[in-house]
């Protein structure tokens, strides 16, 4: 949907974006991760048009027209005394919609975000989770093709998070491309189809979620005795083997030689108590990429 090339943005001497290259493919839910200050919010502000980049290009993929963009900022500011329904109607009227269309759009976004029971509540009395929903509803008013959501579940309780995940998956099924930032790696694993990791204003990793997790298989072997005497031999067999007490972990390519390892352990008098095979978690990938 969008191709971002060599995007840079500085605030005086501070380089917030330092040549960001990123593709946002149509139909995906792309999760942007990265430590505090990595540049996620700055990137989203540039994409949504609230900040102007110093250099670089953002253009639609495949010579398509510019997508309609809906943006939910990280920091939410609302007129405190206005009521939720009143506020959304006002925002709809600012979206170049006629009276009837604005009314229809407001009803649709209220339903999508589950705000039906809160239309009469003043914004100053809304919880943080409720305000997140109001902001998401606002971002949906112009029926965007691309939703840019800066930390959409910040402040939501676990139930609220799960509800919002369901809303996002539903919106994606309706054909909306979603770009979101989050510090919750479990949430990103559950919801996103692609990930990009930003650090010091650069994209240092991007992949489809399926490929990212498939790239790093792991196997763990539990034995009946301490493995310390075997550590040196195992390391000479493969550098991606780690040993801790009675536990031996095979990372990435080392999983291929697991049969050989098992026979070595059996020959050395160890009993195999348990073997676990699993994919790496996003947390492991994240820490490895940022090492």
Question: Which residues make up the interface to ligand ATP (CB under 6 A)?
Answer: 11, 14, 16, 34, 36-42, 74
Of 58 and 213, CB closest to ligand ATP: 58
CB closer to ligand ATP, 39 vs 129 = 39
To ligand ATP, the closest distance from the beta carbon of 283 in angstroms equals 16
Residue among 84 and 188 whose Cβ is closer to ligand ATP: 188
In the chain, the DSSP E strands lie at: 2-11, 14-24, 29-33, 55-60, 69-72, 146-150, 177-181, 194-199, 202-208, 217-223, 241-244, 247-251, 272-279
Which residue has tokens 């799960």?
162
Task: Supply the minimum distance, in Å, between the C-beta of residue 1 and ligand ATP.
Answer: 21
Residue 260 CA to residue 24 CA, distance in Å, equals 42
Give the HSE-up count for residue 279: Cα atoms under 13 Å, Cβ half-sphere: 11
Q: What is the DSSP letter of 111?
A: H
Q: Supply the minimum distance, in Å, between the C-beta of residue 213 and ligand ATP.
A: 23
Task: Give CA–CA dist 200/289, Å, rounded.
Answer: 13
* Minimum CB distance to ligand ATP, residue 291 (Å): 18
For residue 209, the minimal CB distance to ligand ATP (Å) is 20
| Residue 200 beta carbon to ligand ATP: minimum distance, rounded to whole angstroms | 9
CB of 86 to ligand ATP, least distance (A): 30
Which residue, 152 or 218, has its beta carbon nearer to ligand ATP? 152
CB nearer to ligand ATP: pick between 2 and 230? 2
Cβ atoms 12, 194 nearer than 8 A: no
Q: Which is closer to ligand ATP, CB of 12 or CB of 98?
A: 12
Question: In terms of CB distance, is 34 or 152 closer to ligand ATP?
Answer: 34
CB-based contacts of 80, cutoff 8 Å, min separation 6 = 122, 123, 124
Beta strands in 79-208 (DSSP E): 146-150, 177-181, 194-199, 202-208
Nearest Cα to Cα of residue 28 among 196, 182, 183: 196
CA distance 233 to 178: 48
φ and ψ at 34, to 5 degrees? 155, 155
């Amino acid at each position: 949907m969008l191709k971002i090339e060599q995007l840079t943005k500085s605030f005086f001497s501070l380089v917030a974006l330092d040549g960001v290259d990123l593709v946002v493919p149509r139909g995906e839910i792309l999760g942007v991760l990265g430590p505090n200050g990595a540049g996620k919010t700055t990137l989203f502000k540039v994409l949504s048009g609230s900040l102007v980049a110093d250099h670089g290009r953002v253009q639609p993929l495949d010579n398509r027209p510019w997508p309609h963009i809906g943006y939910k900022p990280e920091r939410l500011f609302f007129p405190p005394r206005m009521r939720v329904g009143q506020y959304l109607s006002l925002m709809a009227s600012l979206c170049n919609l006629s009276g009837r269309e604005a009314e229809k759009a407001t009803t649709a976004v209220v339903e999508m975000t589950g705000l039906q029971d809160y239309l009469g509540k003043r914004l100053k009395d809304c919880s943080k989770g409720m305000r997140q929903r109001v902001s998401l509803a606002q971002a949906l008013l112009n029926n965007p093709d691309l939703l840019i959501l800066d930390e959409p579940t910040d402040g939501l309780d676990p139930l609220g998070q799960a509800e919002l995940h369901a809303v996002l998956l539903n919106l994606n099924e309706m054909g909306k491309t979603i770009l979101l930032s989050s510090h919750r790696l479990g949430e990103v694993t559950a919801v996103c189809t692609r990930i990009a990791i930003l650090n010091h204003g650069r994209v240092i990793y991007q992949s489809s979620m399926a490929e990212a997790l498939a790239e790093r298989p792991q196997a763990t072997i539990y034995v009946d005795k301490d493995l310390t005497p075997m550590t040196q031999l195992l390391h000479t067999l493969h550098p991606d083997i780690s040993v801790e007490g009675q536990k031996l972990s095979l990372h990435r390519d080392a999983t291929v030689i697991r049969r050989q390892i098992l026979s070595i352990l059996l020959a050395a008098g160890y009993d195999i108590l348990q073997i676990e095979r699993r994919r790496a978690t996003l947390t492991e990938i994240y820490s490895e990429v940022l090492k």
